[in-house]
Amino acid sequence: MTFIIAIQAKDSIVVVSDTSSFYITDDGRIKPHPHKRLPKLTLDSHQNVRTANGISQLSDMVFDTIASNQELHELRRQLAKVSDVYLAHFKNPPALVEQIQLTTIYCSLLLDTGPRLYSIHTDSIERFEDNSISILSAKHADPTNILLELQQLQKSIKPVKEFVDELSCISHYLRLIKPIFKKTHALGDSSMDFHVYFGASTGYYFEHIPNTY
């Protein structure tokens, strides 16, 4: 299943996604790729990050169509259009229809105040507020089992200027995020490894984290 954590600080963002993947069979069933690892974070030509939950084929179609477009409303319109195409083709089973309807895109834009995260649905666009955290999954997320870890993560959101350098800031978040992915992996909700994107006005960091120690 897809598991994504998005963090908005005052002057920076962190987006983390697991690498588990699944696909749609010809008869509309959702099947996992047991040995395939998929990077779900992508960068556009402006180095803004994009990711989505749900069906990768659907979000890939949206991103491929407007690879370098920074217009959020165009992303929303394209998501609605592609979702309608999938819903028309796959009317069953209900689990697949739910996955299509739940598909949400996270993306960032670089503003004068720094990078800003947005969540895009077929009918709305929401702007992340400072010091906020959000999770996405391929189903209705139940954060009960990781609630304490998420609360601690939110309490630990800090601007880059409070750290010695950006690397110290990234290490700070990774120290808190690694146990979360180990726990969700043990519950069968994500892979243990993940990709992390850190963005600030001065640049960005993108890396795969094996998370094996």
pLDDT at 69 over 80: no
**What residues pair up with 129 in beta bridges, in sequence order?**
none
Burial 49-85 (b: 16+ CB within 10 A, else e): bbbbbbbbebbebbbeeeeeeeeeeebbebbeebbee
List domains and CATH numbers for the chain. 3-209 (3.60.20.10)
pLDDT score of 1: 61
pLDDT-derived band of residue 37, with 50, 70 and 90 as boundaries?
low
Find the distance separating the first CA and the last CA of the chain, reported in whole Å: 22
The model's confidence at residue 163, banded by pLDDT at 50, 70 and 90, is very high
Higher-pLDDT residue of 171 and 101 is 171
Band the pLDDT of 189: cuts 50, 70, 90: confident
Backbone φ and ψ for 116, nearest 5 degrees, come out as -130, 135
Decide: 172 and 160 in contact? Cβ < 8 Å: no
Q: What pLDDT, on a 0 to 100 scale, did the predictor assign at position 145?
A: 86
Q: Determine the pLDDT at residue 23.
A: 67
Is residue 35 very low, low, confident or very high in pLDDT (cuts 50, 70, 90)?
A: low
According to the 3-state scheme, what is the secondary structure of 56-111?
Answer: HHHHHHHHHHCCCCCCHHHHHHHHHHHHHHHHHHCCCCHHHHHHHHHCCEEEEEEE
One-letter amino acid for residue 132 of the chain: S
Q: Which residues of 90-99 are buried (b: 16+ CB within 10 A; e: fewer)?
A: beeeeebeeb
- Mean pLDDT for all residues in the chain: 86
* Residue 10's pLDDT band (cuts 50, 70, 90): very high
Task: Give the integer Cα–Cα distance in Å for 211 and 125.
Answer: 32
- Indicate if the pLDDT at residue 67 is higher than 60: no
pLDDT by residue (tens digit) across 101-153?
Answer: 888 889 999 998 899 999 999 899 999 999 999 998 766 556 788 999 999 99
Of 191 and 24, the structure prediction assigns the larger pLDDT to 191
Both structure tokens of 42: 């992508």
User: Per-residue pLDDT for 92 more than 60?
Assistant: yes
Is this prediction's pTM over 0.75?
Answer: yes
Local structure of 169: helix, strand or coil = helix
Q: What tens digit of pLDDT does each residue of 72-86 get?
A: 888 899 899 988 888
